[in-house]
Amino acid sequence: MFKFNFNIDGPESDSNLEYDSTQELQKKNRLYWYDVDEIFLDKSKHSNISLYKQNSKCFSFLDQQLFVVSYEKQIKLQQTIKNSIKNADLNHSDLVTAVYEGGAKIWECTEDLLIYMLQNKITENISGKLVLDLGCGTGLLGIFAAFNNAIVHFQDYNKDVLELVTIPNVLINLPFNSWLESSQMKFFSGDWSKYVEATKNSPRFDLILSSETIYNPDNHAKLLNTFAEKLKSTGLIYLAAKTHYFGVGGGLRQFEDLIVRDNRFKSKIVWKSTIGVCREILEIKFKS
């Protein structure tokens, strides 16, 4: 089943992830996880804002409206086929392990976490604080934090996602008053472990937001280590995810087990879905 449509009415249900048929083969071979690249919000990107607006659609999360570009329209701007999103799209896959990690569309738990943050005023005192949207995809969590004057860094595995989706979304949603203001934001592509290494001298974050990033159990340790290396000692993490990812293997109970065994963090479930696919939000912080 092709499940990679940019949704019409809101984030789609995507609990049964569609894998590319080459996935099992790739797993048997050694996977190469991409190196880190920093993508800069240069002036040429600002000049495309009207085009990005034409390619976007408005979504409402309670009373918060956010514009999101259609990745399908955005990839039409690309002349070559050498584009991870386009290839995944052509192969009808949500994910191609270590090649394309699914960031071009809005995943369901992003909506959960946005609504949770709105209802619980999570970003109320966040002005001037450092926030990381880890595995950002469309970047809506980070954009929401930036609305509240946080300094946000966006990380996604795929450079294409940052260039074609995240950065356009940032530019069409945030009213930049000055060039300097937008230059405080940072965008990094590449694998989590390489991101940790490449940014080891950068300040740690007050808040890390992450949605739908635990579907692959092989990456759990890497993700937890990223949390440990990037969070301030007093910082908070909100991790939104499905309880179980059918067909892929990851799930929140496994990730919680790792947190317990690892012994650096404590976590609690702060929200659970009551309808539809089982989804939860974990609040994670360092043990004091």
Ligand X SMILES: C[S@@+](CC[C@H](N)C(=O)[O-])C[C@H]1O[C@@H](n2cnc3c(N)ncnc32)[C@H](O)[C@@H]1O
Q: Judged by CB, which is closer to ligand X: 212, or 256?
A: 212
Q: How far is the CB of 206 from ligand X (least distance, A)?
A: 19
> How many angstroms separate the CA atoms of 7 and 262, rounded?
38
Cα torsion at 136, 139, 142, 148 (round to 10°)?
Answer: -170
DSSP 7: P
Q: Judged by CB, which is closer to ligand X: 101, or 163?
A: 101
**Helix (H) or strand (E) segment spanning residue 238:** strand 231-242
Asked if 143 contacts 170 with a C-beta cutoff of 8 angstroms, the reply is: yes
> How many angstroms separate the CA atoms of 19 and 35, rounded?
23
For 155, residues 6+ apart whose C-beta sits below 8 A from its C-beta are: 132, 133, 134, 135, 136, 187, 188, 189, 192, 195
Q: How far is the CB of 133 from ligand X (least distance, A)?
A: 7
> From the CB of residue 185, how many other CB atoms can be counted at a distance below 10 Å?
21
Q: How far is the CB of 42 from ligand X (least distance, A)?
A: 22
Q: Judged by CB, which is closer to ligand X: 7, or 22?
A: 7
Q: How far is the CB of 171 from ligand X (least distance, A)?
A: 18
Q: Judged by CB, which is closer to ligand X: 61, or 192?
A: 192
Which amino acid, one-letter code, is at 161? V
Asked if 166 contacts 136 with a C-beta cutoff of 8 angstroms, the reply is: yes
Q: How far is the CB of 103 from ligand X (least distance, A)?
A: 3
Q: How far is the CB of 86 from ligand X (least distance, A)?
A: 16
SS3 assignment, position 52: helix
> How many angstroms separate the CA atoms of 55 and 68, rounded?
8
Q: Judged by CB, which is closer to ligand X: 157, or 265?
A: 157
Q: Name the site residues for ligand X (rule: CB under 6 A).
A: 33, 101-103, 106-107, 109-110, 135-138, 156-157, 191-192, 211-213, 219, 222
Q: How far is the CB of 258 from ligand X (least distance, A)?
A: 15
Q: Judged by CB, which is closer to ligand X: 64, or 181?
A: 64
β-pairing, 231-242 vs 265-272, is unpaired
Q: Judged by CB, which is closer to ligand X: 135, or 251?
A: 135
SS3 assignment, position 210: strand
